[in-house]
Structure 1
């Protein structure tokens, strides 16, 4: 294949991708324009949770495993 053939193939694929994206955008607009996924509705403040900046109590982690490393008092296989 020549360079020109490759460029033509890329151009065709890009045109097809552009058409598909436009079709998806049109379908999304037709389905539910007021859905929360579009970002038009503000989040409900009653469902928001405030996370404190203070460090967690280290006693909460005394009997836990380190993720991916296993238990603290044992060796990994």
Structure 2
């Protein structure tokens, strides 16, 4: 499946969820804290999927993160001249 197919499937499920929540509100009423939380959570899911759909369809959207190659060669020791040895203090002082 493509990303768009997956997003469409999620959207269909959210539509089913919205219908089910609507039926629950008819039976239980809309005033209870639990019902309001369920409605708010369902609305947040719809908003999140809409944002995800926008970002997935944006031109130049990066599908996978770029890999960074880390060389196996040791780092240049001159990079560490002005640093202290961790936990041992400065080079010109004795450790406690």
Provide the TM-score with structure 1 as the length reference.
0.45
Decide which structure has greater helix share: 2
Provide the TM-score with structure 2 as the length reference.
0.39
Structure with greater contact order relative to length (CA < 8 Å, sep ≥ 6): 2
